[in-house]
Structure 1
Amino acid sequence: MAAVPVIDLGQTEDAAAAEVRAACTSSGFFYVRNHGVPAPLVEEAFAQQRALFGLPLEAKMAMLQDANNRGYTPFREETLDPARQAHGDTKEGFYFGREVPLDSPEASKPLHGPNQWPDPQLLPDYRRVTQQYFDAMTALGMRLLRLLALSLELPPDYFAPMFDAPMLALRPLHYSGEVSDPGAGVFGAGAHSDYGMLTILATDEVPGLQIWLPDGGPEAAADAGAARGEEGVGGRWWDVPPQPGAFVINLGDMLERWTNGRYRSTLHRVINTTGRERYSVAFFFEPNFDCPVEVLPCCTGGVHGPPRYPPTTAGRHLLDKYAATHAGYSAPPAATTV
């Protein structure tokens, strides 16, 4: 049984939105095809990321993750499942965000600022290609927002005002060839749910991504409603294999809060069973920093029950999540972020 459906974005918005609704209330993951992002751009972006990770360690460490969550994260620096991991994830990564000049009023906000780009003498095409890919992911994210709104029977542009100055993060990842050993606490990426609104993931041909679902799979997850599955309790890990030409889309904790648990932010992990290196590029699509995040009226009352989550803001939510998983990263105090 396939855990993750494939949604064709070439069909009508109403038809695609119905399929999005079914995926969001079951596995919380889906693939998209006919998404409008040119295949040559994806291929070129991956070539640039491989070149980036191929730089000498000292060149990467010169771009170490800063207070605004831009820059390099070394192997084992991130621990996504501290309760089960013997050490950090067997991956390295970079964060690139929406470019915000230092002299911009936005630069005073946490998670806003200029990127740390590699030396153009070392990688002359990196910034150009990566920015093109970043822009393509932003456009795809806006298309998906419309489908999410329609799937909730909201106006198609309902979320658009919350994304006029969005928090966007492109995260290239390089997994080492170290074979995972879950029993010994060794993972490519420990089990976690994503933090924000939407993740758009591109992967190479190497498998590794898995999601945790009840024993009956996506249908059982839909029947469980808002009850989030916990690893080791009445479920198992389901593979999400690479699909050439498709992106993997998954929902984050912020969207689960907004929908009162109606839409699922699903536990997932990466394990290495092949001994091969693996590359992926994740794009995290989040609302404006000051955007209020509170349960939508359409997701409360009646069968949905009262709100299960207290109000917060998008920025505060993300800052707290980053501080919990990145070694040495601390979120600014709440008084500076709201």
Structure 2
Amino acid sequence: MSFTSIPILDLQLARDPATKAAFLDQLRDALLEVGFLYLRNVGIPPELFEEVIRQGKAFFDIPVEEKLRIEMKNANSFLGYSRLAAEMTAGAVDQREQIDLSTEHAAPAAGAPLCHNMRWPNQWPSEAHAPGFRAVYTDYMRRMGAVSRYFTSLIAEAIQLPPTAFDKYFDADQQHKLKIVRYPDLAELNGHQPRPPPPQQQEQEQQQQQQQQKQEPEQGQGVAEGGGGGGGDGTAHRQSQGQPPPSQGVGPHKDSMLTTYLLQATHHRGLQVQNVQGAWIDCAPVAGTLVVAIGQGMEALTQGVCVSTTHRVLSPAAGSGARFSIPFFRNTPPTSTASSSPTASPARRCSGAARAVCRYFHTHFTIKTGQADRPFHLFLLSAHVGISGGEGQASERASGATGEHLHSRRG
């Protein structure tokens, strides 16, 4: 049965032996059937969450010159600032700006494999422009590393594996990534000069317009419904026809990492999760929770038992202000392989295989505009441990300027 809501789990239940079994049952259902969940009582002090949100919002108010000084294209890694509309998903521009950070690592030694460029020092804004920013986010990433490590052990237990089943895929000094994202509302976007769509998208739109002109419905005939979670505005119909939604913060995609822990930093709706029937289910902010998304890396490591689910973000309505989100990503080293991945119980694997028949396997990948001269395979190295493809940016990615359409695969 397809899900119609996102479950809410309380991590405190997992810490109590008397309630841990019930928690693992709830987690198992979320892993196998939804791929998304809300998680409360994660162990992060509320005052740190508040400071993370405050500092994250304030970052986008620093001078443009300072943001461009730490722009991603200035480094050999995928860390740093990205301008508004600098990325594309599923052939359409993503209307967001962001900064990508990671747990600190030194630059790789000369002659190291190219994939080691994934680990690189952060590009931080200066203390003069963003006082306290570095300290707050360094602390937050450290604490979230511990939270995600514990939750990964619970995932293993939920699918009847030892709690240490995934430990061998992580380094002692494991790199994790974080992103601070700002989605302008439609009023602000209407004042921003949009970039022209790529030639491939222009040609596709022209072909669709010509086809629609040939197939105009006669008077009295119905048109396709716009429901199915699309908000009644025709979004679902546009999606079924391969067209992007009218206000794309980020287009439909699956996360490439093992797990994502999203702090929704404002009251806005906009994050939507697609169920197996193709309906878009709102994942609205819930106070005191993180949104956990299962990535394709975990789907591969569990041989398809844990499901990675397609999701998207719509731009905020005009006049509602910008939406902010802060996802943290648990990663594996870029050299990891799944050649000896743990095996879940046969019953759980059968459940996953049956579910897989109706799931959407296509995934898209983002190419950053102005960076297509970089080796393309770097975008595929992030955490993919046995997956055909991925996004080297830690999350929320999709198809790019190359026009390639890759497929994810299970196990």
Bigger Cα Rg:
2
> Could you tell me which of 76, 82, 96 is aligned with 1:73?
82
Q: How does 1:19-58 map to 2 (within 5 A)?
A: 19-58=26-65
In structure 1, the residue corresponding to 2:117 is in which secondary structure?
coil
- Give the equivalent residue in structure 2 for 1:5: 7
State the distance in 2 between where 1:319 and 1:131 align.
Answer: 29
- Give the equivalent residue in structure 2 for 1:178: 186
> Could you tell me which of 278, 282, 286 is aligned with 1:239?
282
Cα 1:237–1:262, aligned 2, differ >3 Å: closer, same or farther? same
2:391 partner amino acid: K
> Could you tell me which of 48, 60, 73 is aligned with 2:67?
60
CA contact (8 A) 1:257 1:293 kept: yes
Q: How does 1:184-333 map to 2 (within 5 A)?
A: 185-203=246-264, 204-214=266-276, 234-275=277-318, 276-294=321-339, 296-298=342-344, 303=350, 314=383, 320-322=390-392, 325=398
- Give the equivalent residue in structure 1 for 2:370: none
State the distance in 1 between where 2:99 and 2:31 align.
Answer: 28
CA contact (8 A) 2:261 2:292 kept: yes
Q: Structure 1 residue 263: deviation in Å?
A: 1.4
Q: Deviations over 1:254-284 (max 9, x none)?
A: 1112223221111101113532210010011
Percent sequence identity over aligned pairs: 26
Cα 1:5–1:213, aligned 2, differ >3 Å: closer, same or farther? same
Moved more, 25-34 or 63-72: 63-72
CA contact (8 A) 1:260 1:299 kept: no
State the distance in 1 between where 2:309 and 2:122 align.
Answer: 30
Cα 1:208–1:61, aligned 2, differ >3 Å: closer, same or farther? same
Cα 1:56–1:40, aligned 2, differ >3 Å: closer, same or farther? same
CA contact (8 A) 1:292 1:313 kept: no
State the distance in 1 between where 2:345 and 2:86 align.
Answer: 37
1:195 partner amino acid: S
TM-score scaled by length of structure 2: 0.67
CA contact (8 A) 2:10 2:41 kept: yes
CA contact (8 A) 2:262 2:328 kept: yes
In structure 2, the residue corresponding to 1:297 is in which secondary structure?
coil
State the distance in 2 between where 1:318 and 1:128 align.
Answer: 36
Higher share in strand: 1
State the distance in 1 between where 2:399 and 2:70 align.
Answer: 16
In the alignment, structure 1 residue 16 sits paired with structure 2 residue 23: yes
State the distance in 2 between where 1:123 and 1:318 align.
Answer: 39
State the distance in 2 between where 1:106 and 1:76 align.
Answer: 34
- Give the equivalent residue in structure 1 for 2:159: 152
Q: How does 1:130-149 map to 2 (within 5 A)?
A: 130-149=137-156
TM-score scaled by length of structure 1: 0.80
State the distance in 1 between where 2:56 and 2:81 align.
Answer: 12
Moved more, 172-181 or 24-33: 172-181
CA contact (8 A) 1:24 1:251 kept: yes
CA contact (8 A) 2:178 2:329 kept: yes
> Could you tell me which of 104, 122, 145 is aligned with 1:115?
122
Moved more, 103-112 or 235-244: 103-112
In structure 2, the residue corresponding to 1:131 is in which secondary structure?
helix
Q: Deviations over 1:278-323 (max 9, x none)?
A: 0010011111222212454336797367x999xx993676985238
Q: Structure 1 regions of 5+ residues with no counterpart?
A: 215-233, 330-338
CA contact (8 A) 1:288 1:315 kept: no
2:6 partner amino acid: V
Q: How many residues align?
A: 304
Cα 1:326–1:212, aligned 2, differ >3 Å: closer, same or farther? closer
2:272 partner amino acid: Q
CA contact (8 A) 2:83 2:98 kept: yes
State the distance in 1 between where 2:165 and 2:102 align.
Answer: 24
Cα 1:97–1:264, aligned 2, differ >3 Å: closer, same or farther? same
In structure 1, the residue corresponding to 2:285 is in which secondary structure?
coil
State the distance in 2 between where 1:177 and 1:315 align.
Answer: 33
2:186 partner amino acid: E
- Give the equivalent residue in structure 2 for 1:166: 174
In the alignment, structure 1 residue 129 sits paired with structure 2 residue 143: no
State the distance in 2 between where 1:2 and 1:319 align.
Answer: 29
CA contact (8 A) 1:8 1:34 kept: yes
Moved more, 183-192 or 118-127: 183-192
Cα 1:163–1:106, aligned 2, differ >3 Å: closer, same or farther? farther
CA contact (8 A) 1:167 1:287 kept: yes
